[in-house]
Amino acid sequence: MNVDGDRLSNLSEDLIIKILSFNDTKQAVRTSISSSRWRNIWKSIPHLDLSSDDITSLLRFSLSVSHVLSSRNHEIELSSVKLSVRGGLNQSFVKTVLSYAYSHNVQKMTIICSCENTIKIPLSLFISQSLKHLTLIGSSRYNRPLCKIKSLWDLPALTTLHLENVKLNYKNHDEYGGLFSQCLNLKNLTLYNCTVNDFSSNAKIVAHHLKNLTVVNCEGPLLIYVPELSSLMYRNPYFYRFVADGLSCLEKVDFYMSTPYEEDGYFVIKILQQFRNVKYLTLGLEIVELLESSLGIVSDMPSPFTKLKTLKIYPGWEEGEKKANIPTEIKDFLLNASPSATVSIYSREDVKGLKSKFDR
């Protein structure tokens, strides 16, 4: 379609850039060709969306990306970069994209790789003074991590980090003070389907200014030191022991386990005691059942929740209905220190949309 001479051609360049920004980079380039006036405008779009769904055309895709990067207006800074490849990534190609993005002060970056083999992306490539939002997503189809995190990264401006299908290899973290300790402004951290490489000891996650932490379907033990944390969601099919320290600011907790073992009762109780300042507490029914199986321990302990305002009990994640029946001893443990707290016990029908909120 030739748009020369029509009303589209009379639009301001800023508006044309905004229109083209709704497309991925490949489509934006194709659209620009339709008008002599639009032909070079794509070079000033502050977003890069580089995607390839064809496994057999990775070389062609790499060449195409190289052409895009070399042709852009180099005076324009990048607000976001998305790199999505189905067939695989190699370090050289990733380095080319990241180096360009960092040199143009990118603020938001998403890397998605759906491939059969684990891609080892050295974290030395993640060094940026401008990056604020980072998402790394590996392949869930093959149940393999996108990359292995072996060292710390230098991302002082980073505020939001989402890791999915990523392996945390933290063997040398102690000498640096813990994973993410150099991300000095990190406020939001999500670990989804991640794996701790060494199950023999806790992975040390240190983030001094973290506000929100989400751990979903992750394997391996964690030690978290997050003194400013205000919101925590921990939802795992099994209980991988984690130690929390410095949770004095914690106000909201969602705590779920699908299949806890009875021997985990003591450790779960110790964790609940770390939540003593929480105001809004949500527990899965399995946690309540685990406490019930540990009545001998619970009955000798005072309620740790002195500031509790609301307690919510959600049904189990197992198929089939389970009616919540909370013994008096468990109610005392949960509520005695906050007798005015409101309690809501939900049926599966009440929250039937809740599971899909987390499952993908």
Confidence of residue 50 (pLDDT cuts 50, 70, 90): confident
For residue 341, is pLDDT > 60? yes
- What pLDDT does residue 3 have? 46
Question: Does pTM top 0.75 for this prediction?
Answer: yes
Confidence of residue 1 (pLDDT cuts 50, 70, 90): very low
- What pLDDT does residue 260 have? 67
**DSSP secondary structure of 63-103:** HHHHHHHHHS-TTSPPSEEEEEESS---HHHHHHHHHHHHH
Confidence of residue 160 (pLDDT cuts 50, 70, 90): very high
Lowest mean pLDDT: which of 12-26, 138-152, 334-348? 138-152
User: What average pLDDT does this structure show over 132-140?
Assistant: 86
Average pLDDT, the chain: 79
- How far apart, in whole angstroms, are the C-alpha atoms of residue 2 and residue 6? 9
For residue 251, is pLDDT > 60? yes
- How far apart, in whole angstroms, are the C-alpha atoms of residue 279 and residue 305? 8
User: What average pLDDT does this structure show over 224-238?
Assistant: 88
User: What average pLDDT does this structure show over 121-144?
Assistant: 76
* 50 closest CA partner among 20, 19, 80: 80
Task: Please list, in sequence order, all residues whose beta carbon lies within 8 angstroms of the beta carbon of residue 208, skipping any fewer than 6 positions away.
Answer: 181, 184, 226, 227, 228
Chain segment 114-130, per-residue pLDDT in tens: 765 555 666 666 788 99
Residue with the bigger pLDDT between 40 and 352: it is 40
- What pLDDT does residue 197 have? 63
Consecutive H or E run containing 265: helix 265-274
For residue 63, is pLDDT > 80? no
Name the token pair of 50. Answer: 């580089």
Cα–chain center distance at 292: 32
User: What average pLDDT does this structure show over 324-334?
Assistant: 85
Chain segment 165-217, per-residue pLDDT in tens: 887 765 554 544 567 877 889 999 999 988 876 555 566 778 889 999 999 98
pLDDT above 90 covers a percentage of the chain that reads 26
Residue with the bigger pLDDT between 5 and 300: it is 300
Confidence of residue 137 (pLDDT cuts 50, 70, 90): confident
Residue with the bigger pLDDT between 130 and 347: it is 130
- How far apart, in whole angstroms, are the C-alpha atoms of residue 99 and residue 103? 6
Considering Cα of 256, then 260, then 266, then 267, what sign does the dihedral take?
A: negative
- What pLDDT does residue 51 have? 80
User: Pairing state of beta strands 212-216 and 188-192?
Assistant: parallel
- How far apart, in whole angstroms, are the C-alpha atoms of residue 102 and residue 95? 10
For residue 59, is pLDDT > 50? yes
User: What average pLDDT does this structure show over 67-78?
Assistant: 88
Q: Which residues pair with 359 in a beta bridge?
A: none
Inter-residue contact 343 to 335 (CB < 8 Å): yes
Task: Please list, in sequence order, all residues whose beta carbon lies within 8 angstroms of the beta carbon of residue 12, skipping any fewer than 6 positions away.
Answer: none
- What pLDDT does residue 336 have? 92
Most confident of 47-51, 87-91, 200-204: 47-51
Q: How many CA atoms lie within 13 A of 199 on its CB side?
A: 8
For residue 322, is pLDDT > 80? no
For residue 138, is pLDDT > 90? no
Residue with the bigger pLDDT between 156 and 119: it is 156
- What pLDDT does residue 358 have? 46
User: What average pLDDT does this structure show over 224-228?
Assistant: 88
